[in-house]
Structure 1
Amino acid sequence: MDLPRLVAAVQANCDIADARHAREMTMCNYLLAMRELYRWERGMPLTQSLPQAELGSWIAQREARWNTLDEADFRPLPLDGGCDPFDNAAINALLAPRGLVYSGGIGRWGKPHFFLGELVRREPRHGLDVLVSDRELARDLFAPPAALRGGMVFLRLDALRRWLWEKTEVWGVKRAEGALQAALEGYGFPGNAAAALDRMAATEAESLILHEVGEARAEPLLGAAWREMLGSLPGRRAELLARAVRDNLADCLSTLPALIERGASPALHFYFANFEGVRRSLFPRLWSAYAAWRKSGDADVLIVACGDGQAHWQAAALRLLAAWRSNPAEAAGLFSDWLDEPGTLAL
């Protein structure tokens, strides 16, 4: 295997995906992501300040490069005579014995994501094949820390640490009270930040796996049509609603029950620090249960909310599916309306 050639092919596909989709992000998220991609490419420590003038020049050069790639086709990977870049099973069968892991798939808003990294462990979990990477050799602009693809869970420790560090930096500006402060204090911030980040990453890696397990458990409940629906919805608002409903179902099935059973208080606080936007507006009962748990320390209220959520979010997801099947052309508009006025879709 020619590793430099493989890295170049994966990175080329990452660049093509970015050329097509990177500038669809909001300006704030785009600039934050570009800063982190620059830091990754340069191998800079998370704590090191970025040279602003050099960063600005690098962004301009990267955007000019993307302008030459937005019509390019994704490349096959130079393995076994040429592999489809979305054939994760075949590619990882070739790479895992060499201590590497690869993922290619479609994420939010139809954006392709690719990465190649060093495999640190592989384990079965609830019928899933969990592959954990650390140092990354190729990646695109937005690096999801975890993804479920065809029975395989890809957990990216490097991407996770970068995301967690960004969270701590944002909190450090104002040090606002709330769920994030409780989580960070539980992990040992603002003391030895490096040690606290390691503890946090180890625990939150498990939370991510639990969420992907929940998504896998949701799949047979919703059927293959769910993925078809998700891939066919035009416009971001409809997809946002559908993903929020499924995420709430996955977390009620797996993430939250496991964290509650383990008494993982910092992880629970961090979960609720990120429980926001549509997921939270659809599930105010869970947020109220969290507030009650923080006040009393009694997790029963969270357990009951999760139990009720399992049935509710499965029914809500099936309701979305029924609406889509009934009239696919009008489903996106209906979902968008429900985003503003969820009515009985919320719990």
Structure 2
Amino acid sequence: MFGKMKDAARWGALEQKLRRVLAAKSVHKGASVRLSEIGGEERISIVLAESPDLDGAGAKALEAELNEAAGGIPVTLVVTLHKAAGTASEAPAPERVARGHDNPLALPQQGGPANANENVRARPAKQRPIGAKRVIAVASGKGGVGKSTIAARLAIALANQSKGRVGLLDLDIYGPSLPVMFDLEGVNPKVDEGQVIPLEAAGLSLMSIGFLVSEEKALAWRGPMVMGASKQLLDEVRWGPLDWLIIDTPPGTGDAHLTLLQRTRIDGAIIVTTPSPLALADMKRGATLFRQMEVPILGLVENMACLPDGSPSPFGDTLSDEDLAGAGMERLAQIPLDGGVAAPIGRARPEAGQAPFETLARTLSELDRFAERR
């Protein structure tokens, strides 16, 4: 994200200016200030920590101050408001928030006004999606490293080995991959009382925004809409009991990641990279985000590490022990550059190229941190 900026010094000065505005209101601790660029337009997203001492009017005034300080770059302030016990009820949220940011997926709400969303707002921060015993995030600092393939085939391997019921959540809002990967394009899930029922394929429970939005529809959403959709995918899916929930995170370290890390109790993250020096550098930044949010790094999966016959990968030499030590993590698996791995999975469990993932699944399930939940 920041690599696209031509003037890092300008952004550094601007960030400090915005943080001074936050400090003046005593809401700077834990605040995330991010610059991004979509369609050539710069924008700034500022996410405050939970329970800031702001009411609705105060948040609106602060957002206006931040926009003035940003000098023309649009600023979106994301803040969770809490009312004190015994105080009068707050005024209803504006229509654009109630209809847009809270329910960007346009799920039908039953059993009263905004029934499901009211339940979501009442949930405490940092808990697993309802029914999930273990939650694993599969992440990287960039796209194009095969993260979705790793997440999907790891989930299948866990199901193959009878490690229990496995769910796979695609949290990529802009580029969902599960519909194509599992041959489920055009298949829509049922919605019951404001909750989405996952689709079933290859022995897994599956959910993706790609099942809810037409593939021809471009999602030109800003930060609050992305975060709202991420919340719905995390909170409004009726998984049922799951032994494992594997979350395929989007590329980079953006708004969907912030929502995931602020709301979800994650048991560990698997970081995916290729031997490319650029991918390794971006991977370190992605791992840093999870560490900052106190999510354990389970280890690294080196994808496209070699050719099927063991000869060197066209992406570069396999990562050395020094590379791993510099990244501060252990290698969980090496996956060859194999056409069988890259092929769409379809609705049945794959066989071609699956062997390394069976080993990865065993390694993951045997980690000490999961011993008490076997």
TM-score for both structures, normalised by structure 1: 0.32
Higher helix fraction (1 or 2) = 1
Bigger relative CO (Cα 8 Å, ≥ 6 apart)? 2
